[in-house]
Amino acid sequence: MSTLATTLEAVLYLKGQPLDIAKLAELARCGREDVEEGLIELMNDYAHRDGALEIVETVDGYCLQLKERYRFLVDLLIPIDLGVGALRTLAAIALKGPISQTDLVDLRGSGVYQHVPELVAQGFVRKRRQAEGRSSLVQITDKFYQHFEIDQLPQLRPKGSTASLVDDTASDDEAEFEPAVDEAF
């Protein structure tokens, strides 16, 4: 394996999150074309190994991750340590997100100020500043989907409604929500 491919492997391992080509080029101190060639070499090397890790391209970039067939070990060896309040906040973010932290506080209460940093530290939530306004936006990460083995979240709709999506003009106070279910069942 080339020095560049080895450097990219180290960067992906140390960052522990998906990185796009531009960020990889910056961190590896080389050009985008070189990174693309190095990634191809690295991905090919991992594809031919009989190991537990793989290099994959995600929506957010390239990452080094555990192969699917070994994911059960994560829960077994590294159980999450979240209280009921943090789990409920995580569920609210998953169902309503991306959501401003201010709106999340309105929905869940001031405990959000303790839950969000905990969820960010555990990698289930990403927090980013909004261009305008003071509140940050919070949203779930790929780790949420991987850990809870969810392919996609159900759409929400007002109870008793046949529409598949919630009307954006309705407030949370005006309607109760239920998961959208295929009407054929």
Domains of the chain, each with CATH number or no CATH: 3-70 (1.10.10.10), 84-150 (1.10.10.10), 154-185 (no CATH)
Give tens-digit pLDDT for 2-12.
899 999 999 99
CA distance 79 to 73: 9
User: C-alpha dihedral over 19, 20, 22, 25, to 10 degrees?
Assistant: 50
Q: Which of the four pLDDT bands, split at 50, 70 and 90, describes residue 79?
A: low
DSSP state of 19: B
Tell me the backbone φ, ψ of residue 54, rounded to 5 degrees.
-150, 155
* Confidence check: pLDDT of 163 > 70: no
Distance between CA atoms of residues 166 and 178, nearest Å: 10
**Cα 129 to Cα 135: distance, rounded to the nearest angstrom:** 7
Angle, alpha carbons 144-134-86 (nearest 5°): 30
CA distances to 4, 95, 103, 153 from 167, in Å: 50, 15, 17, 17
Tell me: the pLDDT tens digits for 3-51?
999 999 999 998 888 899 999 999 999 999 999 999 999 999 999 999 9
pLDDT at 122 (0 to 100): 86
pTM over 0.75: no
**C-alpha closest to that of 97 among 162, 129, 150, 141:** 141
Best-predicted range by mean pLDDT among 45-49, 144-148, 171-175? Answer: 45-49
Which residue would you say has higher pLDDT here, 64 or 159? 64
What is residue 128's three-state secondary structure?
strand
Q: Can you give the pLDDT at residue 143?
A: 82
Tokens of 106: 């309105």
Top pLDDT among 174 and 135 is at 135
Q: How do residues 81-131 score in pLDDT, each as one tens digit?
A: 788 888 899 989 988 878 999 999 999 999 999 999 999 988 889 998 877
Q: What is the pLDDT of residue 182?
A: 41
The residue with tokens 């839950």 is: 115
8 A C-beta contact, residue 29 and residue 20: no
- Give the pLDDT band of residue 185 (cuts 50, 70, 90): very low
